[in-house]
Every structure is written in C-alpha cells, then in structure tokens.
Amino acid sequence: MSPDASQAGSELTPSSMESPEEPPEPELPPTVEDPDPTVDRRIDMAVAAAGSAIGVLLIVSSRDIRQGSVSDPIGSDGLAIVLGAWLIVGGLLLIGRRLLAWRRSGNQVPSDGAGDEFGLPASPLRSFVMWAAGFGWVFLLPRVGFMVSSLLLSVFGLVAMGVRSWVKLGVVPVVFTIVLWVLFNRVFGVQYPAGPVDLFFADLIPRMSL
C-alpha cells in the first residue's frame, strides 16, 4: 500500500463523516397579542341590560299565551314568566356587581380570557348579529314555515362565520334543515308552523313512529 493511500485512509475518521441533516421542525403560527388586554365593564353592563330587557319582553308577551286543553300546574304562561324573571334578576345582579367594582377600579379591568385564535379574531358584532338573526327566525317562523326560516338562518349563520363557498352555502343548510325537520316533525311528532315547503315535504315523507 502506498503512503498516499494510507494517509487518505487515516483521514476518514468518524468526526469527518457528516451525518444527514434532520428536517426542520414546522413553525407554529404566531399568536395574536392583544395590544390592549383589558375589558370594558360598560360592555358587560350593556349585555346584562339587554338580557333584562328580553326578560321583560318575555313576561309581557306571556299574557298572549292562551290556556291549553290540558291544565298546567304553573299555568300556560308559567315557563315564560319564570324565564323572564330569571333574566331580569340575573341582569340586575350583574349590573349591580359591575357598578360596585366600577367605583373601586374604574371601567377598564384586565382581561380574563385567552387571546384570539390565529386567523380567527373574535367579533362582538358577529355575536349580536347572530342574536338578531335568532329573533328574525322567530318572526319568520309563523309566516313562512319552519323549513324556510331555518334555511335562511343557517345560510345567514354560515355567512356570519366567514363561509364564502357557494357549495357549502347551498348544500349544508339544505341538508341540515331537511334532517332537522324530519327528526323533529316526522320522528318525534313536533308540530311546527307549516309553510308551502313544509307541506310539500309532509306529503313526500310519511310520519315515522319509534
């Protein structure tokens, strides 16, 4: 063996052999830091006042509930009155707590919740819009029937949540509404206000008994 070959062999040491590079770890999405991590007590008070107002509306509207053929121990309007009173008392208690705390430390308090999910920021406006959509569903229910009002509510909810796919906006609400109507009306026998679409499906799908 020549000196050059022996010298080349001596240079092949374990330290000189390079190990294969490991693939880089995937980077996690950056977290969203709230520049102002505080909560305004006035928002909580506004929500509590809205809840109390809904309670008053429930109690006032319960006067129009007629007595059914089967007597109820608490009356036909008892459930509406109890729920309305609960909303009023709960809202007033929350407003009182916020007012007492306001006197001690002002209207801005540190936020107790976690930051928003990356790419999906929270939207208080979206929450109130969904509330309004629920009242719209109640308004449309006796006028156009359960299926049309529920379909519109489903489409509106998907749009409010940022869905823009025409396939999802067209297929998901239709399937959801039909399945919901079949489950409650055809299987459980719950009678909803019927519109033209409800009557069409009532003739098409027979009632099922468990």
Q: What is the pLDDT of residues 89-140, one digit of tens each?
A: 999 998 888 888 777 765 555 555 555 555 555 666 787 888 889 999 989 9
Model confidence at 52: pLDDT above 90: yes
pLDDT above 70 covers a percentage of the chain that reads 67
pLDDT in tens, 136-158: 998 999 999 999 999 999 999 99
pLDDT of residue 33: 47
Helical (H) or strand (E) element with 39: strand 38-40
Query: Helix axis angle, 146-160 relative to 166-181, nearest 10°?
Result: 140
Backbone angles phi, psi at 58, to 5 degrees: -65, -45
Is the model more confident about 63 or about 139? 139
178 and 156 in a single domain? The answer is yes
99 and 132 in a single domain? The answer is no
129 and 105 in a single domain? The answer is no
Helix (H) and strand (E) counts in the chain: 7, 2
Whether 102 is in a domain gets the answer yes
**How many separate domains does the chain show?**
2
Percent helix, percent strand, percent coil in the chain, to nearest 5 = 60, 5, 35
127 and 188 in a single domain? The answer is yes
95 and 154 in a single domain? The answer is no
| DSSP output for 71-91 | --TT-TTHHHHHHHHHHHHHH
Lowest pLDDT segment from 59-73, 135-149, 192-206: 59-73
100 and 147 in a single domain? The answer is no
Whether 13 is in a domain gets the answer no
85 and 148 in a single domain? The answer is no
